[in-house]
Structure 1
Amino acid sequence: MSLHDDEKAGPLATGPALKIEVVERHELRRKKRKPQANAVTPQARWRQRNPIAAWCHSATASAIRRGIIERQPCEVCGDPKTDAHHPEWKTPLFCQWLAGSIIRRPSAN
């Protein structure tokens, strides 16, 4: 058995030493994604095009985390898993609590 100059033998000299690479969790997720032609994600593009809506989302999320407002069950079906629906983006603390399936349902217009 011969070793190359850049490889080191293990403690028992049974073979080349293993190269262990420490990879952070977020790097693993990034490696699994397909490379995009433009490095800007769809979420980042949405935030750039809708700054008031993005501010409203983050203000509502912050208020929920701080306990200023409390997530309520859906006003239509009673489902406990809800999203905040804002009739007006400039008032992030005044929202309707609706289930995701109801928010994404096509309107009856």
Structure 2
Amino acid sequence: MTDKTPADPAVPALTSNTRQTNWRRANLLKYSAHLAVRRALASGRLTKAPCEVCGAATVDAHHDRYDRPLEVRWLCRTHHVKLHQYGEDMFPVAGRGGSTG
């Protein structure tokens, strides 16, 4: 399954044939969300928060929904990897149902 969306002027032309560019081409929605976060951080519209699990200061942005590019969860690398490995139930989002313990 790919995340193709209509041509987006905010996404640079993907003309090379590297593994990274091929991934970006196949996952345009994810790539667009990543770029939106980078631009929002650079402009000051978005600021990083500590890891929502352990409070670590060095964090990654995690998208639960790529169609909402600036709605991210801040997770340290360890917890971000665990979330992708074990699934959303590991660190449920408050207010979405599921356990909070």
Question: What is the TM-score of this pair, normalised by structure 1?
Answer: 0.60
Pairwise CA distance, 1:41: 2.2
Alignment-mate amino acid for residue 64 of structure 1: L
Q: Which runs of 4+ in 1 moved over 6 A?
A: none
Q: CA separation in 1, counterparts of 2:58 and 2:24?
A: 24
Alignment-mate amino acid for residue 107 of structure 1: Y
Identity of aligned residues (%): 32
Q: CA separation in 2, counterparts of 1:43 and 1:107?
A: 25
RCO greater where, 1 or 2, for CA within 8 Å and sep 6 or more? 2
Alignment-mate amino acid for residue 86 of structure 2: S
Residue correspondences, number: 71
Is 1:87 matched with 2:47? no
Match of 1:99 among 76, 80, 83: 76
Q: CA separation in 2, counterparts of 1:41 and 1:60?
A: 23
Cα RMSD of the aligned pairs, angstroms, is: 1.6
Larger-Rg structure: 1
Pairwise CA distance, 1:74: 0.2
Pairwise CA distance, 1:43: 1.3
> 2:23 — aligned with what?
46
